[in-house]
Chain A
Amino acid sequence: MSEAIRFLKPRAAVLARRATIVDDLLDLLPPECVVHEARELVPFETDAFVAYRRLPLAVVLPKTTEQVAAVMKYCHRYGVPVVPRGAGTSLSGGAIPQEDAVVIGLSKMTQIIEIDPANRTATVQAGVTNLSISDAVSPEGFFYAPDPSSQLACTIGGNIGMNSGGAHCLKYGVTTNNLLGVKMVLVDGTVIELGGKHLDAAGYDLLGLVCGSEGQLGIVTEATVRLIAKPEGARPVLFGFDTSEEAGACVADVIGSGIIPVAIEFMDKPAIEICEAFAQAGYPLDVGALLIVEVEGSEAEMEAMLKKIVEIAGRHGVRTVRESQSATEAALIWKGRKSAFGATGRISDYICMDGTVPLGKLSYVLEKTSEIVERFGLRVANVFHAGDGNMHPLILFNANDPEDAARAEEAGNEILKLCVDAGGCLTGEHGVGIEKRDLMRHQYSDADLNQQMAVRAAFDPGWILNPSKVFPLEGRPAA
């Protein structure tokens, strides 16, 4: 296990009262909603950022907002830290607990409360998975647009916590652009509602502030999201290039020409091989870099747009252009892309970066990334959302070799700093979590961070909510 990133020192007073706290939680919730046996806590010690692990004090799995509020109120009264958890798919360690924390897991809150086609909204409990929203509204002809690669498993609550994106955000925006309202539990157990089926806030845009706040401001228990009419058709097209540079330049040129496809995804050679091995989607294996460009609309619209894109790609030496021939093939192309991270597990352990850079810097950052990784004696696979500059270098390493793991972390840090220095940011959609917490000062000044922490304190002055995350441990204002 890596140790480079510290967690807050557990509160001794909380640890000392562990048995009482567990008893009290069992009074608040039905027995099947409280996990407290030592061995049963182990599987909750981490999320998809598996290099770091901490056992929680207990895990609660409430079924209602009222139960979340009761636990929150209790934890607030006794100063017990709380770590919210959706499906535990965070790639930045957002759901990793700490020894003195109660994990509030939303996996039992899976009710779809209302589908409202006339207003194009769905209201769901926070534990509903991203994809099941689209599944539920599909018979009405709608879908929910943000589509993180983990959409099969990740919850809407977690999406809100991390302001999740996905491949199709190029056209439809990320979670914050598709979220209309939430019901949330504040740190003292108060339940509030922000937004609703109407647009914009009456006063301050607290909804906008809550989205992407990584469980630092409260626990969202219900969400109302915007739905979009399903396009008549959608077609991913594969563009193969000899080099990453050509592919990167093509992306910038497509966007610059005023064409905005639904998605532009990038894969380099190692990523192509990994994904093809899993999905057998027909990705060309004889190219150095691949773009998956998705267009949508009627047949005529797709043709018109594709024609322009093919023309631009031609100027960048495209080698292969392959349109998906059927819905099954299109699904496979996306399945391969969306499984890219997991599929990498077939060949190696990895950590996944999430920096975003201005489009014009894509090629430069790709090149520098390779240099950095090589310097550390490691390998890298690149698969990411090129259309919005959101890069996901996967640094491959051996998790059973502590030195290799440490090198991977260091290389990752350098890559993220590179993204910031190129005019981008540390994280586009995975969140800061613990992973990038100690790099925050590279992106922000003390005044910037202090201001964010001050706003945080308006919600949680006692640092009860997910306290080891997002903000560097040094230099925090006193609780």
Chain B
Amino acid sequence: MTLTPHTENDAAYVIRNAASKGTTLSILGGGTRAGFGNRVSAEETLSSSALTGIVDYEPAEMVMTAKAGTPVGEIEALLAANRQMMSFEPMDHRGVMGTAGEPTIGGVFAANVSGPRRFVAGAARDSLLGIRFVNGRGEIIRAGGRVMKNVTGLDLVKLLAGSHGTLGFLTEVTFRVLPVPETVETIVVSGLDDHAATQAMAAAMAMPVEVSGAAHLPPTVRGRLIGGQLPEGEATVLRLEGLEASVSVRAEKLGDMMRSFGSVSRLGPDLSRNLWQEIRNVAPYKGSPNKPLWRVSVAPSVGHQLVAALRLEAGIDAFYDWQGGLIWMQMEADPEEQRLRRYIKALGGGHATLVRAPATVQERLSAFHPEGDAVAALSARVKQKLDPGGIFNPGKMAGV
């Protein structure tokens, strides 16, 4: 049965009830990430879909408060009307997951969903200023606030962000928004192999030109973006945003520098916007629901080594975002979990999350990266303090 409370108080009531009976709850936002993470077997579903509406929006203060079930589309539309945006560019998972429905703002923060700008502008969690949620006892808890600087007490906001509904049921979120840059440009460096691309991206990031997107698209991926309009061969793409006058100067500078790596071209604002949206949504890997898809986070300098090592032993297709530190990796068939995790460890650490896989594959492995014993134990204790009965999304995340 799906429970759909219309108010925060109703949600608290429902959860108190469930807690007293030990009824497990599967937490549902828009359902666009259904299948993400480990399979949850819960007795009932608790949906935020009736907790909707933008509660407060002060463009001059760059802060918005919305109920958790508010569709992301509604928020983005209102922000766009005020020439503002969520700087962390939340990915829309519908393409790769093959799901329908509307992503909700609560879901975005519960999954800490961030896009290409994350490596310079922060993740969803960095924009999240305050939350209201119901804990596993059915108590309404407020954490954080609506100001950017706030170190009053423990930062439960960060803890709840990315906890995938296992620690509490978000009812309201307050987050920082930023002005939409006046213009955008993309510098394309063509013909670099993964290693050279990693070096080029690091060099770009060391320059004072404020690159706000750095992705590397191997040949298999390049053609599947913006209708194949990127130049032939590998494409290493670097995004610049800001005031018109400033972007043109920086593009000049960056282009000059990048010519020592490969041939350089520019995309212009319109194609740029499309390209980065498609990268954000991992467009190259949509429409293959049976191919396991990993999201791997490692140090930017080693991403290409990981891919190279795996390529020798498995059928994979991969592209890089975040200067090489985020790897979207689509597997031909076998998820190669053990091998992948072993290599990540050998390359200095990081994590891999299985975003998509056929149910048969999902059942035999953990979607989340296993943590060391001490950290896992700590996480389990934290979970116990927020959801003592273990009623929220049981089994969704590793170990908790």
**A residues adjacent to B (C-beta < 8 A):** 116-121, 140-142, 162-163, 165, 169, 173-174, 176-177, 186, 190, 192-194, 196-209, 211-213, 216-217, 229-232, 252-253, 255-256, 258-260, 297-298, 300-301, 304-305, 356-360, 385, 388-390, 423-432, 436, 440, 443-445, 447-449, 451-452, 454-459, 470-471
Residues in A with CB closer than 8 Å to B81 are: none
Given A204-B163, A428-B149, A470-B153, do A455 and B297 touch, yes or no (CB 8 Å)? no
Q: Please report the C-alpha to C-alpha distance between residue A301 and residue B379 in the assembled complex, in whole angstroms.
A: 46
B13: shortest Cβ distance to chain A, in Å? 15
Q: List 19 A-B contacts (CB under 8 A).
A: A118-B198, A177-B122, A177-B126, A198-B350, A198-B351, A203-B397, A204-B167, A206-B159, A229-B205, A229-B210, A301-B242, A301-B249, A305-B246, A357-B147, A358-B58, A358-B146, A432-B153, A443-B152, A447-B141
Does any Cβ of A come within 8 Å of B269's Cβ? no
Choose, from B59-67, B71-79, B99-107, the stretch at the interface: B59-67
Given A199-B326, A298-B246, A356-B149, do A190 and B374 touch, yes or no (CB 8 Å)? yes
| B162 and A389 contacting across the interface, CB-CB below 8 Å | no
Does any Cβ of A come within 8 Å of B165's Cβ? no
| B379 and A118 contacting across the interface, CB-CB below 8 Å | no
| B148 and A205 contacting across the interface, CB-CB below 8 Å | no
Task: Specify which of B122, B142, B369 is in contact with A202 (CB 8 Å cutoff).
Answer: B369
Q: Please report the C-alpha to C-alpha distance between residue A389 and residue B176 in the assembled complex, in whole angstroms.
A: 13
| B206 and A448 contacting across the interface, CB-CB below 8 Å | no
Task: Specify which of A300, A357, A425, A451 is in contact with B245 (CB 8 Å cutoff).
Answer: A300
Which 4 A-B residue pairs are closest in the complex by CB-CB distance? A208-B158, A256-B60, A428-B149, A258-B179
Task: Specify which of A174, A208, A298 is in contact with B249 (CB 8 Å cutoff).
Answer: A298
Q: Please report the C-alpha to C-alpha distance between residue A448 and residue B135 in the assembled complex, in whole angstroms.
A: 10
Q: Please report the C-alpha to C-alpha distance between residue A78 and residue B322 in the assembled complex, in whole angstroms.
A: 47
| A209 and B155 contacting across the interface, CB-CB below 8 Å | yes
Does any Cβ of A come within 8 Å of B340's Cβ? no
Q: Please report the C-alpha to C-alpha distance between residue A208 and residue B109 in the assembled complex, in whole angstroms.
A: 14
Closest chain A residue, CB of each to CB of B381: A458
| A429 and B152 contacting across the interface, CB-CB below 8 Å | no
Residues in B with CB closer than 8 Å to A454 are: 385-386
Task: Specify which of B123, B148, B198 is in contact with A389 (CB 8 Å cutoff).
Answer: B148
| A163 and B155 contacting across the interface, CB-CB below 8 Å | yes
Residues in B with CB closer than 8 Å to A118 are: 198-199, 202, 300-301
Given A208-B125, A443-B152, do A256 and B59 touch, yes or no (CB 8 Å)? yes
Closest chain A residue, CB of each to CB of B399: A203
B204: shortest Cβ distance to chain A, in Å? 9
| B142 and A444 contacting across the interface, CB-CB below 8 Å | yes
| A202 and B152 contacting across the interface, CB-CB below 8 Å | no
| A455 and B154 contacting across the interface, CB-CB below 8 Å | yes
B25: shortest Cβ distance to chain A, in Å? 18
| A451 and B156 contacting across the interface, CB-CB below 8 Å | yes
Task: Specify which of A202, A297, A301, A443 is in contact with B371 (CB 8 Å cutoff).
Answer: A202
Residues in B with CB closer than 8 Å to A174 are: 149
Does any Cβ of A come within 8 Å of B349's Cβ? yes
Residues in A with CB closer than 8 Å to B167 are: 204
| A255 and B61 contacting across the interface, CB-CB below 8 Å | yes
| B378 and A192 contacting across the interface, CB-CB below 8 Å | yes
Residues in B with CB closer than 8 Å to A471 are: 153
Residues in B with CB closer than 8 Å to A217 are: 154
The winner among B149, B161, B250, B378 for most chain A CB atoms within 10 A is B149
| B399 and A360 contacting across the interface, CB-CB below 8 Å | no
Residues in A with CB closer than 8 Å to B150 are: 356, 425, 427-428
User: Which residues of B, 323-351, contact A by the 8 Å Cβ criterion?
Assistant: 325-326, 348-351
| A305 and B301 contacting across the interface, CB-CB below 8 Å | no
- Chain B 127-157 interface 0/1 with A at a Cβ cutoff of 8 Å (1 = within): 0000000010001111101111111111111
Does any Cβ of A come within 8 Å of B267's Cβ? no
Residues in A with CB closer than 8 Å to B400 are: 203-204
Residues in A with CB closer than 8 Å to B140 are: 447
Residues in B with CB closer than 8 Å to A198 are: 297-299, 325, 349-351
**Interchain pairs with CB closer than 8 A, number:** 285
| B202 and A117 contacting across the interface, CB-CB below 8 Å | yes
| B148 and A425 contacting across the interface, CB-CB below 8 Å | no
A466: shortest Cβ distance to chain B, in Å? 13
Task: Specify which of B60, B179, B383 is in contact with A252 (CB 8 Å cutoff).
Answer: B60
B192: shortest Cβ distance to chain A, in Å? 15
B185: shortest Cβ distance to chain A, in Å? 14
- Chain B 270-297 interface 0/1 with A at a Cβ cutoff of 8 Å (1 = within): 0000000000000000000000000001
Q: Please report the C-alpha to C-alpha distance between residue A447 and residue B63 in the assembled complex, in whole angstroms.
A: 25
Closest chain A residue, CB of each to CB of B162: A205
Q: Please report the C-alpha to C-alpha distance between residue A279 and residue B37 in the assembled complex, in whole angstroms.
A: 56
Q: Please report the C-alpha to C-alpha distance between residue A177 and residue B372 in the assembled complex, in whole angstroms.
A: 24
Does any Cβ of A come within 8 Å of B375's Cβ? yes
| A203 and B368 contacting across the interface, CB-CB below 8 Å | yes
Does any Cβ of A come within 8 Å of B57's Cβ? no
B254: shortest Cβ distance to chain A, in Å? 12
Closest chain A residue, CB of each to CB of B166: A204
Q: Please report the C-alpha to C-alpha distance between residue A202 and residue B295 in the assembled complex, in whole angstroms.
A: 11
Residues in B with CB closer than 8 Å to A256 are: 59-61
Residues in A with CB closer than 8 Å to B145 are: 423-425, 443
| A360 and B206 contacting across the interface, CB-CB below 8 Å | no
Task: Specify which of B60, B123, B245 is in contact with A200 (CB 8 Å cutoff).
Answer: B123
Task: Specify which of B210, B249, B379 is in contact with A206 (CB 8 Å cutoff).
Answer: B379
| B112 and A200 contacting across the interface, CB-CB below 8 Å | yes
Residues in B with CB closer than 8 Å to A192 are: 372, 374-375, 378
B38: shortest Cβ distance to chain A, in Å? 12
Task: Specify which of B142, B151, B371 is in contact with A203 (CB 8 Å cutoff).
Answer: B371
Q: Please report the C-alpha to C-alpha distance between residue A406 and residue B33 in the assembled complex, in whole angstroms.
A: 56
Closest chain A residue, CB of each to CB of B377: A190
Residues in A with CB closer than 8 Å to B298 are: 197-198
User: Which residues of B, 190-212, contact A by the 8 Å Cβ criterion?
Assistant: 198-199, 202, 205-210
Closest chain A residue, CB of each to CB of B370: A202
| A388 and B147 contacting across the interface, CB-CB below 8 Å | yes
Does any Cβ of A come within 8 Å of B42's Cβ? no
Residues in B with CB closer than 8 Å to A423 are: 145-147
A108: shortest Cβ distance to chain B, in Å? 25
Does any Cβ of A come within 8 Å of B311's Cβ? no
| A298 and B250 contacting across the interface, CB-CB below 8 Å | yes
Q: Please report the C-alpha to C-alpha distance between residue A305 and residue B351 in the assembled complex, in whole angstroms.
A: 40
Given A119-B300, A176-B158, A447-B141, do A427 and B151 touch, yes or no (CB 8 Å)? yes
Given A177-B126, A458-B382, do A229 and B151 touch, yes or no (CB 8 Å)? no
B93: shortest Cβ distance to chain A, in Å? 16
Q: Please report the C-alpha to C-alpha distance between residue A101 and residue B245 in the assembled complex, in whole angstroms.
A: 58
